[in-house]
Structure 1
Amino acid sequence: MSTLTKREQEAYDYLKKHSDLLNTSVDNICKELKISYGTIYSLIEKLGYKGYKDLIINISSEIIKEKSGLSHNYHELIDANFKIDNEQNLEKFFKIIKDKTVVFIGKSHSHIIAKKFSLDFNRLGIKSYVLENDYDQIILSISNMTADCVLVAITNSGTTDWILSALKMANSQGIKCVTITCVNSKKLTELNELVITMVNRNKLMIKSRITNFIPILIFLDIFWEKAIDKL
């Protein structure tokens, strides 16, 4: 492909960013950018297309491919989670864990994320630890917990049976619970003082293989930033 002139590149960039490309005429582009018809047709020739319609169809295809790519999906996921108004959740969370020992639980991959949360909480000066990734051990540990602890469950699906059982057990012990998840439910709401719900790829109908725990880790970063100022 021949090197584009500054004006040709400007026209190409305009077309790539235009929201209604298929209904964009040569006249509109020329008027909008104050360029000549010759610039557009020189662009078409340099890109190797047969005509203006061919140019538009191919650029439209490029845009669709880019928007379905992994990088675009990551940005979409991050944007969706930062649009969540977490201010009230954060304030309530800080009140719940104030002067408490924060005990994290999670199953399988969630247990790894729980370890990360606990590590960061301790670095912030918040006393914290993680229960073992074993149901019987968790139930035993919760039975020995006191009201100076807060149980925080990490669960992407919000439906893990033994996480729900652990929350129920903690409730019976008078221990306050918080769940950080991507799927809230009536049952979770009933078992927790607070449910923090993030947006995962399933909610956005993203087909790319993006780890479902990224939204929960985004919340950890949001919490960390807020905690630095607050604690």
Structure 2
Amino acid sequence: MNQTFKNKSTQMRIRSIYTTLSDKERVMAEFILDNPEKIIHGTISGIAEELSLADSTVFRFCKKLGYKGFQDLKISLATETANEMKDVHEKVSKSDDEKTILEKIFHSNIKTLEDTLEVIDDKDFARAVDVIIHANKVELFGFGGSNVIAMDGYHKFIRTGLPVSAQTDSHMQLMSASQLKKGDVAILISHTGHSKDILDILETVKAQNVVTICITGFTLSPLSQGSDLSLFTLSEETDFRSEALASRIAQLSILDALYVNVMASLENKGQSALKHVRKAIQKKRL
């Protein structure tokens, strides 16, 4: 089985590669998501005919999801459906009152965190912690909403005592990226992994042999394919909230987990740096 999809549900597999799919593949993807029971009880030729696709197209899509073929997909869907509990995440409707929306948003965030925990590769995460600890310098990059996440990461990692930086202006980010060198680490944050700005940063730092860690929602995006280490988030879009917005809670949590792991590994050195930070900001309090 493709290691990218190991132990992942069919829904997770589809959502993680959705933006990379062709029009025909999206037809198949959406049919699986909306009609899993038809896949379970159908045949490859019957599904292909209903969707006006060739049998080979359906088969190749099954393979793209990491299955051996259509039968393997059917078995997986049947198992998932049998074990499936009612999702705590429900779509927000215009008739919901404030308390109901509050509960649904919290449940949505909880589900995003649970799903993200399922798709993160333990080995890649451990390697990310290790390269950050041994980096000469760590710099975080992100544009738009992802820049808010990058700045929050900077706010955390500056407490470690490690050389760390982040910029808000797009030109400054590119200029700063051009000064990184071998031995440095770049953390690149983008939900889709298709942003031209973040891909320009990736191209710049890769040319200088900088180790790259990306935090993104799509396994086959140019960002994840080009980065040394990829930490994936998984979130769902709703009527009033985009998938990118929902993913931010997971992005923040990944950075939290990286920071705590780094601090734990640094031991006394990290605690000493944290004490210096606390002493400095104490002056800002009355």
In our comparison, the structure showing a higher alpha carbon Rg is 1
Q: Which residue of 2 aligns with 1:214?
A: 249
1:70 aligns with 2:102: no
1:104 aligns with 2:140: yes
Q: Which residue of 2 aligns with 1:155?
A: 190
1:82 aligns with 2:122: no
Post-superposition shift, 1:144? 2.4
Runs of 5+ unmatched residues, structure 2: 1-85, 91-103, 267-286
Given that 1:146 and 1:173 are in contact with CA atoms closer than 8 Å, whether structure 2 keeps it comes out as yes
1:92 aligns with 2:127: yes
Q: Aligned partners of 2:233, 2:88: CA distance in 1, in Å?
A: 25
Post-superposition shift, 1:196? 1.0
Post-superposition shift, 1:194? 0.7
Deviation per CA, 1:23-75, whole angstroms, max 9, x where unpaired?
xxxxxxxxxxxxxxxxxxxxxxxxxxxxxxxxxxxxxxxxx897523333232
Q: Which residue of 2 aligns with 1:223?
A: 258
Q: How many residues align?
A: 165
Given that 1:182 and 1:215 are in contact with CA atoms closer than 8 Å, whether structure 2 keeps it comes out as no
Deviation per CA, 1:116-149, whole angstroms, max 9, x where unpaired?
1011111123321003321x33332222222232
Q: Which residue of 2 aligns with 1:23?
A: none
Aligned residue runs from structure 1 range 161-200, under 5 A: 161-185=196-220, 187-200=222-235
Q: Aligned partners of 1:72, 1:94: CA distance in 2, in Å?
A: 29
Aligned residue among 117, 125, 133 for 2:153? 117
Q: Residues 66, 192 of structure 1: CA spacing in aligned structure 2 closer, same or farther, 3 A cutoff?
A: closer
Given that 2:215 and 2:251 are in contact with CA atoms closer than 8 Å, whether structure 1 keeps it comes out as yes
Q: Residues 66, 119 of structure 1: CA spacing in aligned structure 2 closer, same or farther, 3 A cutoff?
A: closer
Runs of 5+ unmatched residues, structure 1: 1-63
Given that 2:192 and 2:221 are in contact with CA atoms closer than 8 Å, whether structure 1 keeps it comes out as no
Given that 2:193 and 2:221 are in contact with CA atoms closer than 8 Å, whether structure 1 keeps it comes out as no
Q: Aligned partners of 1:189, 1:111: CA distance in 2, in Å?
A: 18
Post-superposition shift, 1:104? 0.9
Q: TM-score, normalization: structure 1? A: 0.62
Q: Residues 104, 159 of structure 1: CA spacing in aligned structure 2 closer, same or farther, 3 A cutoff?
A: same
Residue identity matched to 1:99: A
Q: Residues 124, 186 of structure 1: CA spacing in aligned structure 2 closer, same or farther, 3 A cutoff?
A: same
Q: Which residue of 2 aligns with 1:127?
A: 163
Deviation per CA, 1:143-195, whole angstroms, max 9, x where unpaired?
22222321111111111111101101111122221111112325224421111
Tell me the SS of whatever aligns to 1:173: coil
Q: Residues 75, 175 of structure 1: CA spacing in aligned structure 2 closer, same or farther, 3 A cutoff?
A: closer
Question: Structure 1 vs Structure 2: percent identity of aligned residues?
Answer: 18
Tell me the SS of whatever aligns to 1:83: helix
Q: Aligned partners of 2:226, 2:89: CA distance in 1, in Å?
A: 39
Residue identity matched to 1:113: I
Q: Aligned partners of 2:87, 2:223: CA distance in 1, in Å?
A: 38
Q: Aligned partners of 1:131, 1:65: CA distance in 2, in Å?
A: 39
Q: Aligned partners of 1:66, 1:138: CA distance in 2, in Å?
A: 39
1:144 aligns with 2:144: no
Given that 2:119 and 2:232 are in contact with CA atoms closer than 8 Å, whether structure 1 keeps it comes out as no
